[in-house]
Amino acid sequence: MKMEKTPHIAILPSPGMGHLIPMAEFAKRLVEHHHISATIIIPTTGTPPKAQTTVLESLPENIHHMFLSPVNDLPENVRPEIIINRIMQGSLSSLRDALSCLKSKTKLVALVFDMFGHDSMEVGKEFNLCNFLFFPMSAMALSFTFTLQKLDEETTGEYKDLPYPVKVPGSISFHGRELMAPVQVRTDEVYKGYLLLSKRLTLLDGIMVNSFEELEEETIRVLRDDVSGQTPIYPIGPLIQSDPSNGSDRHECLKWLDDQPSGSVTLVSFGSGGTLSLEQIHELAHGLEMSNQRFLWIVRSPSKASNASYFTGSSQNDPLGFLPEGFLARTVNRGFIVPSWAPQIKILSHEAIGGFLTHCGWNSTLESIVYGVPMIAWPLYAEQHMNAKVMTEALDLALRLETDENGLYQREEIKKVVKVLMEGDEGKKISKRLKELKSAAMKALSDGGSSMESLSKIALQLKQRPFP
């Protein structure tokens, strides 16, 4: 890399594809439209997973990437958020080295990190950089994060035990148990880290949020007018992976989709990390079978934890072994199972897809909106319960599944809701609304669109940053 004259930004995604993908897309847009170059700095625990290197290797040449020294001695059998926090903290000293190296070769002006990387603000300051938060969740989740500090001061005990709902400014109210996972155990280090983020938000030079004004208009307005103080809020979405390269070999599931009627297939996917219990996998399999609808299911090995494959994005065992006996044979003409990572965006953009049973990860939600696919909400972890509630109750973009008293989605319920989505009036209404939003999303990211305007403002802020 020779010394550049254009402003350069360092981007630090925390582990997990759900952070890397939108941050890489953000870098692509900034580089393509504003003559800014970027380096993505990746914390590691060893050899990077294939899903990660595929994304990094497909980036244009003016977006570089570097891996930080692996962080070892991580605790076992703890929540992924604890592991992510430890990895980010253990990477701070090698981040310092990486920034020092970048500073000697580029006109480094800013550090962009996500909600697990805010301890690097101090490092950013040492290098006299602008500190930006890339918030890969919704504007609603950002509004909640701003208010957490106040909620913390005003309440005691766990939020799940609060006798009243928590109102998110500019959005709806949530029961304490629906709030995002990082705030569920107030005594643990994840909570303390997230609370610290809440306190630091007003110290940032700006926050990019992966949403767009037409989707969360009221929330974004309230965020700007009443919540965020002096910190600029930049909705820059919907940023989804624009060109997932999978070379010349087209995934088998896409070939299968080619032979299915238009809008007839429900995609079932729980993101990069979502896993179900064995019992729940069986209920889902029976529900899909009983619905008589076509389906494409990205299935992972069963696990008691709902996010067991978060770091690997794949199954540990052969999933076909734990599906109900005879299920594959009985559904062979209308079902397709992918037992590991599948090209979700290519699937969602395929003509044959007409519905999406999703865990409501924010990336998956945006992908569904961009491709106009009606959703069924099946939240598992992170902030997915909040997303599911906004999608079903506030925005009417998804149908909700009801659990039984043990928290299980039973086969009858799954069958009923899949049928309503694919054949019923409610499904058609959602489909119509999504068509409008789909064009609003495209407009937001076109010249003069709301998200492109945000991007221009960020570029201006970066270009005006004095470089010693």
- Please identify, using beta-carbon distances, which residue of 159 and 341 lies nearer to ligand UDP: 341
CA distance 346 to 246: 10
- State the Cα–Cα distance between residues 352 and 346, nearest whole angstrom: 11
Instruction: Give the nearer residue to ligand UDP in terms of CB position, either 123 or 337.
Output: 337
37 neighbors 8 (Cβ within 8 angstroms): yes
Quote the least distance from Cβ 240 to ligand UDP, whole Å. 6
114 is catalytic: yes
Contact indicator for 401, 338 with CB cutoff of 8 Å: no
One-letter amino acid identity for 350? Answer: H
Least distance (Å) from ligand UDP to the CB of residue 58? 13
363 with 238: CB under 8 angstroms?
no
* Residue 63, token pair as written in the block: 């977006």
d(CA 288, CA 14): 35
Residue (of 236, 209, 357) closest to 285 by Cα position: 357
Q: How far apart are the first and last CA of the chain?
A: 20
Quote the radius of gyration of the chain (alpha carbons, Å): 22
Angle between helix 92-105 and helix 80-90 axes, rounded to 10 deg: 50
**Whether 19 is catalytic:** yes
Chain residues that interact with ligand UDP, rule: CB under 6 A: 16-18, 21, 241, 269, 271-274, 298, 341-345, 361-364, 367
- In whole angstroms, the minimum distance from the beta carbon of 154 to ligand UDP comes to 30
How far apart are CB 312 and ligand UDP at their closest, in Å?
11
Q: Is 297 or 327 the residue whose CB approaches ligand UDP more closely?
A: 297
- The single residue of 8, 64, 65, 114 carrying the catalytic annotation is 114
Which residue lies nearest ligand UDP, judged by its C-beta? 361
Determine phi and psi for 397, rounding to 5 degrees. -110, -5
Nearer to ligand UDP, 81 or 367 (CB): 367
From 19, 65, 350, 385, the catalytic residue: 19
273 vs 354 by CB, closer to ligand UDP? 273
Lookup: tokens for 259: 């032979």
CB of 13 to ligand UDP, least distance (A): 12
**What is the set of active-site residues?**
19, 114
